[in-house]
A = this chain, B = another copy of it.
Amino acid sequence: MTDQLSTTFAALADPTRRAILERLSRGDATVGELAEPFAMTMPAISKHLSVLERAGLVTKSRDGQRRNCRITATPLQNATSWLNEYRRHWEANLDSLDTYLTRIQHQEK
């Protein structure tokens, strides 16, 4: 069984899928509208959309004749939270390294 965070990161590990999310972050779109900017067939786009749907990053809804794709923020928020949490640690480490380097540079003078 794959955990949610791994599924989210795996779904983000593709430039076309990230471009689809970038487009959807600006508003809902049909599969046709999503396919337009890509030199890809509809089945190829649909396959990427399925990965995003299975990862819970995109949901489809019907609005009359339109079948809209919509971005779902929660998995992206969880991924961002994970990265931000560990960024605090590694930035703290970089700060210590900076302090250390500044100190030895002063000693050398």
Chain A binding surface SS class? helix
Segment at the B interface, from A30-38, A90-98, A99-107: A90-98
CB-defined contacts of A84 to chain B, threshold 8 Å: 80
A25 and B89 within 8 A (CB): yes
User: Which bracket fits the contact residues of A?
Assistant: 20 to 34
Copies in the complex: 2
CB-defined contacts of A89 to chain B, threshold 8 Å: 22, 25-26
A6 to B79, CA, bound (A): 14
Kindly identify, within residues 39 to 95 of chain A, every residue whose CB is under 8 Å from any CB belonging to chain B.
Answer: 71, 73, 76-77, 79-80, 82-84, 86-87, 89-91, 93-94
Which B residue sits closest to A88, measured CB to CB? B25
